[in-house]
């Protein structure tokens, strides 16, 4: 990569030096006849147009090939395969338009540089030509729209019933995860119940919250649909999982969601990338304050069996914070202690 950077820098410097050289040689001419000066620099500029086209064309092709593995990050979700395919199809179609128009632009600039002998063609319009380049882009765009909307509707469609529900909450400047526990139902929350321990503001009058547990890493099962329920506690944040091609804002007061199917475990990805230290990461992509750039969490994709085992090991939030049993209505206390897996004597201790 450095060699190319060096190359581009050298070209840049050469262009500058050439211009300055041209400038000094033409200072003499400038004092003489005016038309000579114009004709001279006109040719130089025309030549530079062509040179720019060629050099930048080479640089573009070279960089897009050489850096491919740097910018093409692996895909780890089902819908990611589909959106990436759309991405590359769009890249080819627009790439063709880009190359043709840029070549015409710079080539025409070079080819039709001013000459005393030539006369410009008086060519104010041509309806057929204009109709052509109205309809062709319109048709191509229609195809891209239809294809894009099909993909979009599939990705954004309702999550399957059996999806694993996980809550992701953004707060300055960390992500927090809440799992629904055995019942696969997240308990209700109320932001007014948030405090130092009850970071999610769990409403303990809802029996679904008894077996909920928090985690410091986002664990996901491979091959199963996962529904992320996303919210924010203070300002906007945005959940970004680059390898899963997943992004969704976290909005205070308005829960959002995104469902997807992870396709590669962390271990598989370590093999694929030849990087034994590889980890999926969760990043924030909505400006949220001075720690915005550091809102990172590790994401672990497990084989379904490992995932279930991991879930089993997790302690429910209520069992880790038995003080909060006092917020549970009397008639649900027993149920809470069973769901939350709290030993009897512990609860007695805490209620004292």
Span 180-239, contacts to other proteins by CB under 8 A: 191-192, 194, 196, 201, 233-236, 238
CB closer to other proteins, 294 vs 326: 294
Q: Are 230 and 254 in contact (CB under 8 A)?
A: no
Number of residues in contact with other proteins under rule CB under 8 A: 120
32, 65, 92, 120: residue in contact with other proteins (rule CB under 8 A)? 120
If the CB atoms of residues 111 and 348 are measured against other proteins, the closer one turns out to be: 111
Residue 134 touches other proteins, criterion: CB under 8 A? yes
Q: Which of 31, 162, 274, 290 binds other proteins (CB under 8 A)?
A: 290
CA distances (Å), origin 331, targets 205, 210, 325, 335: 10, 14, 12, 8
Is 71 strand, coil or helix? helix
**Binding of residue 133 to other proteins (CB under 8 A):** yes
**CB-nearer residue toward other proteins: 61 or 335:** 61
Nearer Cβ to other proteins (256/314): 256
Contact set for other proteins, span 76-115 (CB under 8 A)? 82-83, 86-87, 90-91, 94, 97-98, 101-102, 104-106, 108-109, 112-115
Tokens 């497990």 belong to residue: 302
Sequence-distant (≥ 6) Cβ neighbours of residue 107 within 8 angstroms:
50, 53
Distances 62 to 10, 14, 102, 105, 135 between C-alpha atoms, Å: 16, 20, 17, 21, 33
164 binds other proteins (CB under 8 A): no
Nearer of residues 103 and 338 to other proteins, judged by Cβ: 103
The residues, ordered by sequence, that sit 6+ positions from 89 with a Cβ below 8 Å of its Cβ are 144, 147
Instruction: Kindly provide the residue ranges of all beta strands, DSSP E only, lying in 124-204, ordered along the sequence.
Output: 164-171, 174-179
Using the rule CB under 8 A, is 14 a contact of other proteins?
no
Q: Does 270 bind other proteins (CB under 8 A)?
A: no
- From the CB of residue 87, how many other CB atoms can be counted at a distance below 10 Å? 11
Q: Write the DSSP symbol of residue 163.
A: P
Measured from the CB atom, the residue of 24 and 345 that comes closer to other proteins is 24
Integer angstrom CA distances of residue 257 from 23, 122, 263, 288:
61, 58, 19, 19
Q: Does 315 bind other proteins (CB under 8 A)?
A: no
Q: Does 249 bind other proteins (CB under 8 A)?
A: yes
Residue 21, interface with other proteins (CB under 8 A)?
no
Q: Report d(CA 300, CA 100) in Å as an integer.
A: 45
Q: 287 vs 335, which CB is nearer to other proteins? A: 287
Interaction between residue 159 and other proteins (CB under 8 A):
no
């Amino acid at each position: 990569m450095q060699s190319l950077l060096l190359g581009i820098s050298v070209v840049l410097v050469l262009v500058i030096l050439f211009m300055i050289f041209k400038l000094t040689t033409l200072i003499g001419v400038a004092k003489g006849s005016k038309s000579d000066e114009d004709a001279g620099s006109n040719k130089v500029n025309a030549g530079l147009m062509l040179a720019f086209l060629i050099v930048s064309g080479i640089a573009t092709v070279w960089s897009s090939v050489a850096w491919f593995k740097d910018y093409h990050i692996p895909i780890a979700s089902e819908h990611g395969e589909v959106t990436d395919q759309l991405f590359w199809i769009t890249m080819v179609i627009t790439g063709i338009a880009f190359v043709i128009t840029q070549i015409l632009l710079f080539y025409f600039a070079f080819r039709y540089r001013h000459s005393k002998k030539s006369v410009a063609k008086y060519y104010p319009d041509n309806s057929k030509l204009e109709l052509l380049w109205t309809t062709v882009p319109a048709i191509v765009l229609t195809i891209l729209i239809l294809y894009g909307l099909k993909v979009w509707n599939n990705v954004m469609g309702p999550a399957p019933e059996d999806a694993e529900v996980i809550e992701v909450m953004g707060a300055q400047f960390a992500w927090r995860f809440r799992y629904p526990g055995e019942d696969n139902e997240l308990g209700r929350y109320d932001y007014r119940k948030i405090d130092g321990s009850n970071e999610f503001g769990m409403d303990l009058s809802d029996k679904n919250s008894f077996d909920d547990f928090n985690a410091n890493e986002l664990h996901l099962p491979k091959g199963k649909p996962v529904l992320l329920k996303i919210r924010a506690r203070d300002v906007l944040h945005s959940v970004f999982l680059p390898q899963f091609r997943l992004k969704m804002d976290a909005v205070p007061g308005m829960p959002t969601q995104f469902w997807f199917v992870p396709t590669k475990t962390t271990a598989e990805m370590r093999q694929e990338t030849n990087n034994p230290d590889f980890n999926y990461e969760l990043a924030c992509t909505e400006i949220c304050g001075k720690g915005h750039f550091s809102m990172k969490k590790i994401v672990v994709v497990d084989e379904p069996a490992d995932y279930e085992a991991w879930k089993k090991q997790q302690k429910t939030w209520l069992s880790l914070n038995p003080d909060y049993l006092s917020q549970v209505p009397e008639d649900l206390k027993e149920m809470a202690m069973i769901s939350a897996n709290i030993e009897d004597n512990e609860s007695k201790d805490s209620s004292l």
